[in-house]
Structure 1
Amino acid sequence: MADWEEVKRLAADFQRAQLSSTVQKLSERNCIEIVSKLVEQNLLDIIYTTDGKEYLTHQEVSKEIREELQVHGGRINLVELQTILNIDFSHIESKVNELVKNDKSLRLVLGQLIERSYVDGLVEEINDKLHETGQITVAELTKLYDLPATFLSEVVQDYIGKGIDGRLDEANRGVIFTESFVARHRSKIRGAFSAVTKPTPLMTVINRLQLQERLFYSILEELVKGGRLAGAINGGRNDKSTYIPDIYSKTQNDWVSSFYNQNGYLEYDAMARLGITDAKSYIKKNFKKENVVYLSTCCVGKMLQDQMEAQLDEALSSSGWVDAQPFLPSILSEKDA
């Protein structure tokens, strides 16, 4: 009986031996030699870490780059990637370029790998900041996010009206406004200039109402061009620009025409006191059909010239002389001779 038990025990040991596998361990040195040999024979393509203690396959590098990109919220600097993965920067750069080429959701922006998810989040933040302040500039965004202006301008233009609820300044595409901000400015500008009755420096209104300068000019030009404001802008977009309401221009024109028709001449200084800074240009523009003689202090019209010629003809016909002073404007001087 004991012999049979021994047989069963031996059978069990044999079965265990058959089922077990022999484990052979290679030393670290053996592994290094094998890998080196495979690399030499171009049977294995790997990337060594900078300390030479580890190696990664190209697929693993791509995988780890994507993982780090996710960990960092969709944006990571390539220099930081190189430090984390501990491989030569050239491998990082090469692999990132490959990823960007094959994946349209990735972008390389001045040494930073950016994923579309980051851009989507960026658009949300820009929209929130825009609605907090009513306006924002690409220059401000550049400082805030440490990203190039060209990239941010592209993002803004791509998402304006489709994630960024605002409008771009027509004169400066780097400025964004909300519609409510624009509407408030338009109301202020229209109200202010509707009450103007004399030439008014634009900077005075901008400073008094604390308006955004670029938007101010755009809206004012729009209101004048559309006939919502009856007036004209003199001087373009600069510190010396002036708004001249039509009612003031009409008053000027009426006074000048009336004075000329009654007296036959126009005094430059008197016109300057009316706000006409370039009297000669004004006269040439508004009295094109008149035969006007321009003197130093004034211009003399045809009526006055005819009166003077008649007096001279009469004096010549009677072989006499004539005192011209009573027939000429009192403001004439020797310079006008």
Structure 2
Amino acid sequence: MDAELLELQRQLEAAQSARSSVRLSERNVVELVQKLQERGIIDFELLHTVSGKEYITSDHLKHEIKMEINKRGRVSLVDLSDTLGVDLYHVERQSQKIVSDDPTLMLINGEIMSQSYWDSVTEEINEKLQERSQIALAEIAAQLHIGSELVINILEPRLGTIVKGRLEGGQLYTPAYVSRITAMVRGAARGITVPTNLPSVWNSLQQQLQEMHGASGVSVEGSFFQSIFNGLLKEGAVLGSVRAGGQWTPAVFAHAQKESVDAFFSQARYPDGIALDAVFVHHSVVGMLDAAVGDAIESGHWIDSLSVLPSYISGPDATKILSLCPSLQRAVKSSKAVVFGESCVFSSMFIKNIFDRLEKEMDSFGIKHSVGQGKPMNVTVGSEQRTGSGSDTKDLGDNDASSTGVSSDRGSKKKKGKGAGSNKAGALLKDDDNDESIPVKGKKGSDDVNGPLKLLSSHLRPMLVNSWMKKRNTMLSGNAERRRRLLDNLQKQLDEDVLDMQLYEKGLDVFEDDPATSDKDNKLKNGMDVEGNEEELLHLSTADRSTLAKNLPGVLSQKAQALVDALEGKSFDSFMDALSDLLEESGLIFKKLDKRLERSMLHSYRKAFNKALQAPGRAVGAVITLLKDKLPDSTYKVLTDYHGTTVKLLALQAAATDEEDCASDRMLEKKEDLEERLMPELKSLVLGTNKE
């Protein structure tokens, strides 16, 4: 008994350790998985790999993606698709779910990036920053292949923690370097004792840094200097005031100025300076204003000298100071600048830019439509202004309009002058929004805050009106050319149609009144669609034609209505007479059909339409029967004899056998009849040689 049990045990072990010789094919596995899905045993989503030989679940794919992110920190979805062997669509879908569930991840431009990756990147940036003292954000973005905005978003929350530096004007600076630049700005500001233009100071500091560090030195933007200076001024580290255009006046200047005047007056008993109408100013004021005006002209902007000069200087005095500025005198002589009013200086480049924008505004306000209608432009001025008390510029009076010396050759001169002036002022206000803020400062106690705008609009108005007139004349010339081509095409089409009608009229008597033809004629008269009409035509009813005729002016309307009435009748001559009268009234030519034109048209029609009728043999008899009432008896008899003989000959040939019998004699007889009698008669009939 024990021996049997041991034998059975050995057999069981052998069976368990033996490998199966039967294996499932890939097709069987696919069918098995489908059956399991149909029965609900597999109730989760299965994905195919790119090779198609493996299944993978969504959860496992998500797990694999997370592992890759944790391993690398920054992963491209395309690389994930290649690494995992799964289609890119499934990788993108699972990646979006992972990013939405984990706030520490971000998906940007097909790449997943983790916070740990950014921490390591910012640590590397900090190491480079400490070595070089300064790094440009554009350089970082190029190295990481990301946008500059993303670099800023990543660096800002880490400034002061991981990144030991300061972000300013697209540059990263170390605290030590910022302290050094701050000391330079503080020393320069405290060392200035006279009013000075700050941009020139920043340029000097930049040159000094380049000389100190050489070609490999750190470049510092002027905005960085200005930011540090504003902080020092706010803290009280430097004393003084900043006026428009970056004009720095140190506090020590006023004290030194007072002491200088007192000392000179105590010695010479008269003050040293320039005598104006209301005040007495030092020569340095002229130099200060000259520098500000020169910068405005070179940069293509404008400046109101009252915004730079002290508040106690009035408009007439500002005009005299401007006349003493060398840079302004040179610019006016070379047409690089224009002086408006008492204190405003505009560069020619600024005026040209405003003029170009206003020209575009004229086009957007429908200059083409106004030219087509022969009416002047009517534009609306924006009511909101940023530089004044809220009043619009419609108060540009007749004096401004008349001072331009430009008037239109059509319409009311006064209206066009006002409309054009309002247009320029309104467009200038829109230009203010697009350009930098324009400081406007008038005389103390003056309510005319829109003075510079009025002066500029008065200067631009004649230029714009002249430009508008040139465009208007050009467009009118273009319209005249288009009208000429349109009239030529219309005359050509009318000539073709009128000649066709006159030619067709010669064959109208041949046709009888057919109900189908009458029905088609009624449909055409009533503007209804007709089947088989190949051309794309505009179908008009009688009422539509009458309405169009009534809309025409004067006598032309009467003649058009007469043509509509003639179209309703059946007289071809009355229709052609009415058409001739209408064309003559319209200035078009009514071309009559002569013998030469008729021969030419008939030849072209024969060449195009004179084709042999192809019909099956069984239909020839029906066709001949249909033509019985239309043909002479002799012609009809020739056709029926020829057709009957041909049919009999074909029947004999079909029934003939190889043996010689009477059928061959009859066939020969029919052939001779066709060739000797019927064929010549038919040829003479076709060629028109038969007298009948």
TM-score (norm 2): 0.36
* Structure (1/2) with the larger helix percentage: 2
Q: What is the alpha-carbon distance in structure 1 between the residues aligned to residue 188 and residue 209 of structure 2?
A: 9
Structure 1 residue 42 displacement after superposition: 5.2
Q: What is the alpha-carbon distance in structure 2 between the residues aligned to residue 274 and residue 104 of structure 1?
A: 60
Deviates more, 1:75-84 or 1:44-53: 44-53
Q: Deviations over 1:194-249 (max 9, x none)?
A: 3333435222333333462232111122223333224444554xxxx554444445
**Aligned position for 1:35:** 33
> 1:163-178 residue pairs with structure 2 within 5 A?
163-169=162-168, 172=169, 174-178=170-174
Q: What is the alpha-carbon distance in structure 2 between the residues aligned to residue 149 and residue 41 of structure 1?
A: 54
Structure 1 residue 260 displacement after superposition: 8.7
Structure 1 residue 48 displacement after superposition: 0.4
* Structure (1/2) with the larger strand percentage: 1
Secondary structure of 1:50's match? coil
Residue from 286, 292, 304 that aligns with 2:312: 286
Contact 1:131–1:178 at 8 Å: present in 2 too? yes
AA aligned to 2:193 is: T
Q: Tell whether 2:235 aligns with 1:226.
A: yes
Aligned residues: 282
**Aligned position for 2:23:** 26
Q: What is the alpha-carbon distance in structure 1 between the residues aligned to residue 316 and residue 2 of structure 2?
A: 141
Structure 1 residue 156 displacement after superposition: 1.2
Deviates more, 1:247-256 or 1:40-49: 247-256
**Aligned position for 2:69:** 69
Deviates more, 1:9-18 or 1:79-88: 9-18
Deviates more, 1:176-185 or 1:14-23: 14-23
Q: What is the alpha-carbon distance in structure 2 between the residues aligned to residue 139 and residue 10 of structure 1?
A: 87
Q: What is the alpha-carbon distance in structure 1 between the residues aligned to residue 12 and residue 318 of structure 2?
A: 128
Contact 1:137–1:176 at 8 Å: present in 2 too? yes
Secondary structure of 1:83's match? helix
1:284–1:56 Cα change, 3 Å: closer
5+ residue gaps, structure 2: 211-218, 294-303, 322-692
Contact 2:138–2:148 at 8 Å: present in 1 too? yes
AA aligned to 2:116 is: S
1:261–1:87 Cα change, 3 Å: closer
Q: What is the alpha-carbon distance in structure 1 between the residues aligned to residue 276 and residue 60 of structure 2?
A: 95
1:269–1:186 Cα change, 3 Å: closer
**Aligned position for 1:182:** 178
Structure 1 residue 99 displacement after superposition: 1.4
AA aligned to 1:191 is: G
Q: Which one has a bigger Cα radius of gyration?
A: 2
Q: What is the alpha-carbon distance in structure 1 between the residues aligned to residue 187 and residue 309 of structure 2?
A: 33
Q: What is the alpha-carbon distance in structure 2 between the residues aligned to residue 206 and residue 116 of structure 1?
A: 37
AA aligned to 2:184 is: K
Q: Deviations over 1:78-131 (max 9, x none)?
A: 111112222221100111111122233322122111223212211211221222
Residue from 288, 300, 311 that aligns with 1:275: 288
Contact 2:274–2:281 at 8 Å: present in 1 too? no
1:84–1:42 Cα change, 3 Å: farther
> 1:1-337 residue pairs with structure 2 within 5 A?
10-19=4-13, 21=16, 24=20, 25-29=22-26, 30-41=28-39, 43-44=41-42, 45-71=45-71, 73-169=72-168, 172=169, 174-198=170-194, 199=196, 201-202=200-201, 203-210=203-210, 212-213=220-221, 214-236=223-245, 241-251=246-256, 255=261, 259=271, 265=277, 273-277=286-290, 281=306, 285-286=311-312, 297=320
5+ residue gaps, structure 1: 1-6, 299-337
Q: What is the alpha-carbon distance in structure 2 between the residues aligned to residue 206 and residue 141 of structure 1?
A: 23
**Aligned position for 2:542:** none
1:208–1:234 Cα change, 3 Å: farther
Secondary structure of 1:147's match? coil
RMSD of the TM alignment (CA)? 3.8
Query: Identity percentage over the alignment?
Result: 25
Structure 1 residue 61 displacement after superposition: 1.0
1:271–1:157 Cα change, 3 Å: closer
1:287–1:46 Cα change, 3 Å: closer
**Aligned position for 1:320:** none
Deviates more, 1:210-219 or 1:19-28: 19-28
1:111–1:100 Cα change, 3 Å: same
**Aligned position for 1:303:** none
